A and B are shown apart, each in its own frame.
Chain A
Amino acid sequence: MRLNDDHRDFTAMVHNLVATEINPYVDQWERDGFFPAHELFPKLAAQGLLGLEYPAEYGGEDAGHIYSMLATEAFGRVHGAGIPMAIGVQTNMATPSLARYGSDDLKRRYLAPAIAGTAVAAIAVTEPDTGSDVSALRTKAVRDGDDLVITGRKMYITNGTQADWLCLLARTSDEGGHRGMSQIIVPTDAPGFSVARKLDKLGNRVSDTAELILDEVRVPATNIIGTPGRGFQQQMQQFIVERMFASYGAVGQCEYALERTREYLLHRHTFGKPLASKQYVAFTLSELTARVELLRSHNLRVVEALDAGEDIIRLATIAKLEAGRLLRDTADACLQFHGGVGYMEETWTARFFRDARLASIGGGADEVMLQVLARQDGYPID
């Protein structure tokens, strides 16, 4: 797939928005450990950025998947990875199932405000006792007349302190394992819902991550997204979109970090010459640039496969794996070649280094990606 003028104009628009509406505030938000999603999201929505692929009927743009890729890549220039992560939760993690399987009524009440940026969404899957193994989750939603009564705890939930609603995965029957789960929309103003605590993190500090408590939270049974009992399968589909989001973002973040590092090394002298003239330094960075370009090509291949309606599990799994590794390697090299100043909080590399570490854990750890791949290839692993 080749990029055209529309694509370039679109990317330029997002870069502009990042430079004027986001980056000037990130340092403050990082110190606060919180960014005001209810203020930022409407601005993104005004540009169409929260509903690119969603139907115009609900306020979306009916755009091709390529625009999601470009937007996510462009958000890689935000000076704190927690912001794109929070945006990604809104657009690629908490809403795809609702858009795909949800009833018209649910979409009007929850998807449309999310696209308009007036409601903040969160995805609540992980629990204190289980993350990688989604089939072990315990949160229960018990039917009571026309309602569901939900009890359980959710952990590490992005946008957790400010979300207006959750796309929650819970057990709606006692079948166990992959069976009997449903995706349920839970408004956070429902009695019984509370934020146990806001979590203190290594990186992505600009984004709020929370532990949530559901204590007999009552929602109408019609808040189930799609087919009751198919929640696990629907969530697995939703995870695939999430993985690609991670990969698109990694390309943007790494490209920007390498640009900034090169700029610094052209001006920093050691032993009488710019650091950029040291072959070891230049080659290390060029190798990373090559990997960024390869991942971008891979991402474009995914866009084409998606447009052709092909199954992308394998491609997305590979993309997510490489995204995590590439971010870690890039963050490490950028910090290393900055030297002491790179270790200082006042230099962007310190935050980037911390933020970059998440990609190999969140949205499915590297090892989980490897497990999927190895199984696909017939390795008899457990």
Chain B
Amino acid sequence: MNIVVCVKHVPDAQSERTFNDSDNTTDREGVDGLLSELDEYAVEEALKLVEASEGEVTVLTVGPAGAADALKKALQMGAHKAVHVTDDAIHGSDAPATSLLLAKAIEKIGTPDVVITGMASTDGTMGVVPAMLAERLNLPMVTYASQLTIDGSAVTARRDGDTASETIEATLPALVSVTDQINEPRYPSFKGIMAAKKKPVETWGLGDLGVDAGQVGLGAAWTKVDSFAKRPPREKGEIVTDEGDGGTKLAEFLASRKFI
């Protein structure tokens, strides 16, 4: 079984994330980046599936030069090879453009048995790329899987909702997005770190994918960020001094904020 996992390199949520002043796109230079934590679950699930049968896991990312780090992490975890789609013209691409690039790259890799993605990126958090990608590849899609089994030519996934869990089956090839409940992603081991250096990483530009620069980037985006503002610093809390009527004052305060 061959699996392609789509992963994203995102700004570290632990650091101070911001936008570029010049074009209101996410600042990917000024902060440390890493493999989106939600994508680690996708990589782990793919590795488990391949380990249980056979085949290869290819990790695929669209992003600037630094995004190679996300691929490296996935290779260190155990993925077999990687494809990095990168081109200056891609800067500022939105979900439709990203899904176009991913679809073209997957077609070039050779459509796998399963495409696995995380449930959303931890920076944009739109969570629409999996659906757009499935549409472009004309694949059946199962989103938000918290359990996954593959049997012959069918994939079965459990989706956990607030009130019920549903079990969904689709025929292969298929696209599945997985949640953070599906597994415990492994750490790269010493062997994994050493082996990753020798694994093949291909770098493809727009030309390699037959995509026109006008179809991607900020210019082609369906949505764009008009403006941004820093969240105002938290205001100082109000201190209630108890002069015999502390209880009443507290109750009044809570009532004024509609807590009671």
Q: A46 CA to B190 CA in the complex, in Å?
A: 9
Name, among B76, B187, B190, B197, the residue most crowded by chain A CB atoms within 10 Å (CB to CB).
Answer: B190
- A186–chain B nearest beta-carbon distance, Å: 30
Chain A interface residue number, banded: 10 to 19
| Cβ-defined contact, A47 with B187, below 8 A | yes
Tell me the chain A residues, 20-66 only, with Cβ under 8 Å from chain B.
46-49, 52, 61, 63
Residue of A nearest to B73 (CB): A9
| Cβ-defined contact, A6 with B191, below 8 A | no
CB-defined contacts of A17 to chain B, threshold 8 Å = 187
Residue of B nearest to A10 (CB): B193
| Cβ-defined contact, A13 with B191, below 8 A | no
| Cβ-defined contact, B187 with A6, below 8 A | no
Are A46 and B76 also in contact (CB < 8 A) when A6-B194, A6-B197 are?
no
Chain B interface residue number, banded: 10 to 19
Tell me the chain A residues, 71-101 only, with Cβ under 8 Å from chain B.
none
The answer to whether A256 has its CB under 8 Å from any CB of chain B is no
Residue of A nearest to B190 (CB): A48
The answer to whether A16 has its CB under 8 Å from any CB of chain B is yes
| Cβ-defined contact, A9 with B190, below 8 A | no
CB-defined contacts of A63 to chain B, threshold 8 Å = 190
Residue of A nearest to B186 (CB): A46
The answer to whether A67 has its CB under 8 Å from any CB of chain B is yes
Q: A47 CA to B193 CA in the complex, in Å?
A: 10
CB-defined contacts of A9 to chain B, threshold 8 Å = 72, 76, 188, 193
Tell me the chain B residues, 184-202 only, with Cβ under 8 Å from chain A.
186-191, 193-194, 197
Main SS class of interface, B: helix
- B11–chain A nearest beta-carbon distance, Å: 17
| Cβ-defined contact, A61 with B188, below 8 A | no
- B73–chain A nearest beta-carbon distance, Å: 8
Q: A17 CA to B193 CA in the complex, in Å?
A: 14
| Cβ-defined contact, A46 with B197, below 8 A | no
| Cβ-defined contact, A47 with B76, below 8 A | no
- B4–chain A nearest beta-carbon distance, Å: 24
Q: A16 CA to B186 CA in the complex, in Å?
A: 11
Tell me the chain B residues, 32-51 only, with Cβ under 8 Å from chain A.
none
Q: A61 CA to B72 CA in the complex, in Å?
A: 20
Partner of B187 from the list A16, A52, A61, A67 (CB cut-off 8 Å) is: A16
CB-defined contacts of A13 to chain B, threshold 8 Å = 187-190, 193
Partner of A10 from the list B72, B190, B197 (CB cut-off 8 Å) is: B190
| Cβ-defined contact, A67 with B76, below 8 A | no
Q: A17 CA to B188 CA in the complex, in Å?
A: 10
Q: A161 CA to B188 CA in the complex, in Å?
A: 32
CB-defined contacts of A48 to chain B, threshold 8 Å = 189-191
| Cβ-defined contact, A49 with B193, below 8 A | no
CB-defined contacts of B188 to chain A, threshold 8 Å = 9, 13, 47
Residue of B nearest to A21 (CB): B187
| Cβ-defined contact, B191 with A61, below 8 A | yes
CB-defined contacts of B197 to chain A, threshold 8 Å = 6
Tell me the chain B residues, 171-225 only, with Cβ under 8 Å from chain A.
186-191, 193-194, 197
- A126–chain B nearest beta-carbon distance, Å: 32
Q: A9 CA to B191 CA in the complex, in Å?
A: 12
Residue of B nearest to A61 (CB): B190
Residue of A nearest to B196 (CB): A9
| Cβ-defined contact, A6 with B193, below 8 A | yes
| The 9 nearest A-B residue pairs measured at CB | A48-B190, A47-B189, A48-B189, A61-B190, A9-B193, A13-B187, A13-B188, A10-B193, A48-B191
Q: List 6 A-B contacts (CB under 8 A).
A: A9-B188, A10-B193, A48-B189, A49-B190, A61-B190, A63-B190
Please give the residue numbers on chain B whose beta carbons come within 8 Å of chain A beta carbons, in ascending order: 72, 76, 186-191, 193-194, 197
Question: 9 additional contacts, CB 8 Å, given A10-B190, A13-B190?
Answer: A9-B72, A10-B193, A13-B193, A46-B186, A47-B187, A47-B190, A48-B191, A61-B190, A63-B190
Please give the residue numbers on chain A whose beta carbons come within 8 Å of chain B beta carbons, in ascending order: 6, 9-10, 13, 16-17, 46-49, 52, 61, 63, 67
